[in-house]
């Protein structure tokens, strides 16, 4: 995955190197600007078994700030924000691989370095008893939950960094 480019990102921003589960790494540029979840919209994406994006609705594309071409066939971690603890995604994958539904609050990173919070429901798509992919539908999260998760995730991240 390509590094984020300073020309795409509004000032001021800070730089961070992220390493992903598949061992690839990427430089991300993060600004402290939140983009509010669009009123009355659902943000939807589908992935294959490895979390590669196979479909994204219009709201998904708009909120990510990437073009549809950049998003389709990209790994879903293209949106991973460095403030998200690994444990949240481990819980997501452990749950959906067991054919169960996962709910959770996620802070996502946009192409322009800004972030947005979602309340996500991720479900496995099952055909003839086998998982063929996954779908995530995201709604506007309550501000109370966003505040709680901001604190909780910061604590979890600190513990992960001390391990
Ligand atoms: C259907 C589906 C939707 C996902 N949506 C997101 C998302 O919006 N943001 C995100 O950071 N990770 C999302 N993930 C999790 C990523 O695949 C990935 O596990 C995560 O970004 C952490 O990266 P890492 O596992 O490579 O460390 C989603 C996974 C699935 C299967």
Q: What is the mean pLDDT of residues 20-24?
A: 92
Is the distance from the beta carbon of residue 106 to the nearest atom of ligand 1 less than 6 Å? yes
91 vs 75: CA distance, rounded Å = 18
Ligand 1 mutation pick, 43, 51, 86, max ligand atoms within 8 A of CB: 51
| Percent of the chain scoring above 70 in pLDDT | 100
Confidence at residue 1, expressed as pLDDT on a 0 to 100 scale:
86
State whether the beta carbon of 80 lies less than 6 angstroms from ligand 1. yes
| CB distance 79 to ligand 1 below 6 Å | yes
The overall pTM is greater than 0.85: yes
What is the per-residue pLDDT across 32-66, written as a single tens digit (0 to 9) for each? 999 999 999 999 999 999 999 999 999 999 999 99
pLDDT at 145: 98
Residue 88 CA to residue 54 CA, distance in Å, equals 22
Closest CA to 136 of 66, 78, 55: 55
Q: Are 122 and 112 in contact (CB under 8 A)?
A: no
Structure tokens given for 104: 């959770």
91: Cβ–Cβ under 8 A, 6 or more apart, which residues? 102, 104
């Amino acid at each position: 995955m390509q590094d984020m480019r300073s020309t795409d990102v509004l000032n001021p921003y800070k730089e961070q190197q992220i390493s992903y589960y598949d061992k690839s790494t990427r430089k991300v540029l993060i600004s402290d600007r939140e983009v509010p979840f669009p009123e009355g919209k659902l943000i939807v994406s589908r992935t294959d078994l490895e979390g590669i994006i196979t479909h994204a609705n219009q709201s998904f594309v708009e909120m990510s700030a990437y073009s549809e071409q950049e998003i389709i066939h990209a790994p879903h971690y293209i949106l991973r924000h460095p403030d998200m603890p690994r444990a949240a995604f481990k819980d997501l994958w452990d749950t959906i691989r067991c054919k169960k539904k996962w709910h959770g609050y996620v802070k996502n990173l946009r192409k322009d370095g800004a972030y947005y919070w979602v309340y996500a429901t991720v479900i496995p798509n099952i055909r003839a008893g086998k998982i063929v992919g996954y779908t995530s539908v995201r709604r506007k999260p309550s501000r109370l939950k966003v505040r709680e998760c901001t604190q909780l995730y910061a604590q979890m991240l600190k513990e992960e960094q001390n391990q």
